[in-house]
């Protein structure tokens, strides 16, 4: 393959759809020998770590490389760092932090968190949960260290005191760790797309970028994020999500996964699915909050309820995918509006429909069963029991006389499947053996939680923690 061969995103997707992702990638994102790489290379950079991807995983690794006195080059194909990490809500789940101790939630442990998170009907399991244990312990250190160094967190809340929310969300988190990586000496190269892993005698020894620069290093860390923004890969691995809206950064195209597979890497849980939540159909504004934070109801486009509104946001999103046209409405009345502040932002944004009697609203949104649904719901609320779906919170009738609706639909934003790694962040081959010289962290890897039978919560710590573990492991093994 020529290292200077380029494809637009459109042709990348088009080809993939017809020829299959793996076959297509074989000619474009792939592996080559050192000799081939040297022949193709226009110039060569020698370093200690090549880190591919400048989100939380890549930057976490770069910080640790600098702390241990190693040189590193971070390759980021976009014009700015951040990837999905910068888009994220900035919530880091960690059990047993100093912030928890200081705010009255002391005594928490990794064991307690794992017990709480274990799914009874999980498709995968791994007794001992080695990856999750490493990740949660690392998440505690991540929160404690970043906070000690000046990163702000909003106060913890009773409903989930393990959810540490960075002040300023993912954008602030990325800006903070970028600064730290730069201060630690990382060389960051933007608009630099890695295209091939260089493999010599079974060992990964470098990376070739799209412009023909060869980066040679004893350790390569893939931190390229997930594949949610690659329609061909979504179609191939999780086709049931193919026509669902996407919230993911432009760079989340699965390239690290493809490159590593071309070098012999194994993958896990590729067909396990995507994480979902409700967004506004009009504006893509996050709509996961209203159903679980106020007494309105969620209906499909016919006007029928289909789940307990206080279900986990991902459960709600996945049920939403099964509804006609996989969309629906959150319906509330003027009493709910008056009592709960969160709706005023949606009014200001201009995405609230209605302000009308129920029949009129039902007609406006084309949901014929809505009046009967509300009447039945109000009857159940008179007894305080949701006999249909078992909703347990915000049990109150919707009595109008003025009603409103928000148009909602699920989006996908996190790929569960990805590279197979061990607790030292080594990328494993298809037989489960580490590929020498190759490490990975973050969303390019399969979710530690999903593959070990727990509920997914941790994208940011999976990046930062395993990025740092990768540097430590490579340093120890050198």
Q: Does 75 bind ligand FAD (CB under 6 A)?
A: yes
* Residue 252 found at the interface with ligand FAD (CB under 6 A): yes
CA count, 13 A, side-chain hemisphere, 27: 11
Which stretch, 11-19, 179-187, 223-231, 354-362, contacts ligand FAD (CB under 6 A)?
223-231
Region near ligand FAD per CB under 6 A, out of 16-24, 37-45, 243-251, 299-307? 243-251
Nearer to ligand FAD, 56 or 217 (CB): 56
Strands 274-280 and 219-222: unpaired
Measured distance CA(459)–CA(442) in Å, rounded:
7
Contact between 463 and ligand FAD (CB under 6 A)? yes
16 sits near ligand FAD (criterion: CB under 6 A): no
**CB 47 to ligand FAD: min, Å:** 15
User: Could you say whether residue 414 binds ligand FAD (CB under 6 A)?
Assistant: yes
| Residue (84 or 333) nearer to ligand FAD, CB | 84
Q: Which is nearer to ligand FAD, 236 or 462 (CB)?
A: 462
Using DSSP's 3-state secondary structure scheme, residue 266 falls into coil
84 binds ligand FAD (CB under 6 A): yes
Let me know if 344 is exposed, middle or buried by CB neighbors in 10 A (0-12, 13-18, 19+).
exposed
409 counts as binding ligand FAD under rule CB under 6 A: no
Q: Is 248 in the site for ligand FAD (CB under 6 A)?
A: yes
- Looking from the CA of 160 toward its CB, the CA atoms found within 13 Å total 13
Give the range of 30-38, 222-230, 266-274, 364-372 binding ligand FAD by CB under 6 A: 222-230
Q: How far is the CB of 281 from ligand FAD (least distance, A)?
A: 16
Distance CA 77, CA 83 (A): 10
Decide: residue 206, CB within 10 A, 0-12 exposed, 13-18 middle, 19+ buried: buried
**DSSP, residue by residue, 115-140:** HHHB-TT-S---TT-HHHHHHHHHHH
∠ CA 352-385-394, nearest 5°, is: 35
Nearer to ligand FAD (CB atom), residue 90 or residue 303: 90
Give the one residue of 223, 233, 297, 471 binding ligand FAD; rule: CB under 6 A. 223
Any contact of residue 90 with ligand FAD (CB under 6 A)? yes
For the chain, give the longest Cα–Cα distance: 77
CA gap 11, 122 in Å, rounded = 37
Closest Cα partner for 156 from 211, 88, 104? Answer: 104
Site string for ligand FAD, 181-210 (x = CB under 6 A): ------------xx----------------
Q: Which of 48, 129, 255, 386 binds ligand FAD (CB under 6 A)?
A: 255
Beta bridge partners, 49, equal: 72, 219
Binder of ligand FAD out of 88, 229, 300, 468 (CB under 6 A): 88
- Kindly write out the interface string for residues 419-458 of this chain, putting x where it contacts ligand FAD by CB under 6 A and - elsewhere: -----------------------xxx-------------x
Q: Where are the alpha helices (DSSP H) in 68-168?
A: 83-87, 98-102, 110-117, 130-148
The verdict on 317 binding ligand FAD (CB under 6 A) reads no
Which part of the chain contacts ligand FAD (CB under 6 A), choosing from 98-106, 248-256, 350-358, 389-397? Answer: 248-256
Q: How far is the CB of 356 from ligand FAD (least distance, A)?
A: 32
> Which residue is associated with the tokens 């504004």?
285
Residue 445 CB, shortest distance to ligand FAD, in Å, is 8
Q: Residue 47: CB partners within 8 Å, gap ≥ 6? A: 71, 72, 73, 187, 215, 216, 217
With beta carbons less than 8 A apart as the criterion, state whether 198 and 207 touch: yes
**Smallest separation, CB 29 to ligand FAD (Å):** 7
Question: Among 211, 190, 207, which residue's Cα sits nearest to residue 262?
Answer: 207
How would you class 373 by CB atoms within 10 Å of its CB: exposed for 0-12, middle for 13-18, buried for 19 or more? buried
Joined together, the tokens standing for residue 35 give: 């000799």
Task: Tell me if 91 contacts ligand FAD by CB under 6 A.
Answer: yes
Residue with tokens 């919170």: 393
- In whole angstroms, the minimum distance from the beta carbon of 259 to ligand FAD comes to 7
The distance of closest approach from Cβ of residue 59 to ligand FAD in the complex, given in angstroms and rounded to an integer, is 8
Residue list 34-73, contact with ligand FAD (CB under 6 A): 52-58
Residue 75 CB, nearest distance to ligand FAD (Å)?
5
Does position 118 bind ligand FAD by CB under 6 A? no
148 vs 57: CA distance, rounded Å:
20
Among 7, 19, 68, 78, binds ligand FAD (CB under 6 A): 78
Find the part of the chain contacting ligand FAD (CB under 6 A) among 3-11, 89-97, 340-348, 397-405.
Answer: 89-97
Query: What residues make contact with ligand FAD under the rule CB under 6 A?
Result: 52-58, 75-78, 82-85, 87-91, 193-194, 223-225, 247-249, 251-252, 255-256, 413-414, 442-444, 458-460, 463
């Amino acid at each position: 393959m020529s290292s200077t061969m380029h494809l637009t995103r459109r042709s990348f997707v088009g080809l993939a759809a017809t020829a299959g992702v793996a076959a297509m990638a074989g000619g474009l994102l792939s592996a080559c020998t050192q000799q081939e790489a040297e022949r193709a290379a226009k110039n060569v950079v020698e370093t200690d770590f090549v880190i591919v991807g400048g989100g939380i995983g890549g930057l976490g690794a770069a910080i640790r490389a600098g702390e241990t006195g190693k040189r590193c080059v971070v390759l980021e194909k976009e014009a700015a760092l951040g990837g999905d990490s910068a888009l994220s809500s900035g919530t880091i789940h960690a059990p047993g932090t100093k912030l928890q101790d200081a705010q009255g939630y002391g005594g928490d442990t990794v064991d307690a968190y794992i017990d709480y998170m274990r799914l009874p009907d999980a498709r995968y399991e791994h007794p001992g949960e080695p990856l999750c244990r490493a990740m949660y312990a690392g998440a505690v250190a991540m929160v404690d260290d970043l906070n000690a160094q000046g990163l702000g967190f909003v106060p913890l809340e009773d409903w989930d005191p393990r959810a540490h929310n960075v002040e300023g969300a993912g954008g602030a988190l990325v800006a903070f760790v970028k600064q730290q990586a730069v201060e630690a000496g990382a060389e960051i190269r933007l608009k630099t797309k890695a295209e091939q892993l260089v493999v010599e005698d079974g060992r990964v020894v470098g990376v070739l970028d799209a412009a023909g620069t060869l980066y040679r290093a004893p350790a390569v860390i893939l931190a390229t994020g997930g594949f949610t923004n690659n329609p061909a890969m979504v179609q191939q691995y999780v086709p049931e999500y193919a026509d669902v809206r996407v919230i993911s950064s432009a760079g989340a195209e699965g390239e690290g996964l493809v490159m590593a597979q071309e070098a012999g890497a194994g993958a896990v849980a590729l067909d396990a699915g995507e994480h979902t939540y409700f967004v506004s159909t009009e504006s893509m504004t996050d709509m996961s909050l209203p159903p679980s934070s106020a007494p309105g109801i969620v209906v499909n486009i016919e006007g029928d309820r289909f789940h307990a509104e206080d279900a986990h946001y991902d459960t709600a999103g996945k049920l939403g995918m099964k509804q006609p046209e996989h969309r629906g409405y959150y319906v509330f009345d003027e009493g709910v509006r008056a009592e709960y502040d969160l709706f005023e932002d949606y009014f200001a944004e201009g995405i609230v429909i209605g302000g009308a009697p129920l029949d009129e609203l039902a007609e406006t949104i084309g949901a014929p069963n809505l009046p009967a649904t509300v009447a039945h719901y109000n009857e159940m609320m008179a007894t305080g029991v949701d006999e249909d779906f078992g909703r347990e919170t915000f049990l109150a009738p919707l009595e109008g006389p003025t009603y409103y609706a928000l148009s909602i639909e699920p989006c996908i934003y996190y790929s569960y499947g990805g590279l197979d790694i061990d607790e030292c962040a080594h990328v494993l081959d298809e037989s489960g053996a580490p590929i020498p010289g190759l490490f990975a962290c973050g969303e390019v890897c399969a979710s530690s939680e999903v593959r070990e039978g727990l509920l997914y919560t941790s994208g940011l710590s999976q990046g930062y923690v395993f990025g740092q573990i990768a540097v430590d492991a490579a340093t120890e093994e050198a």
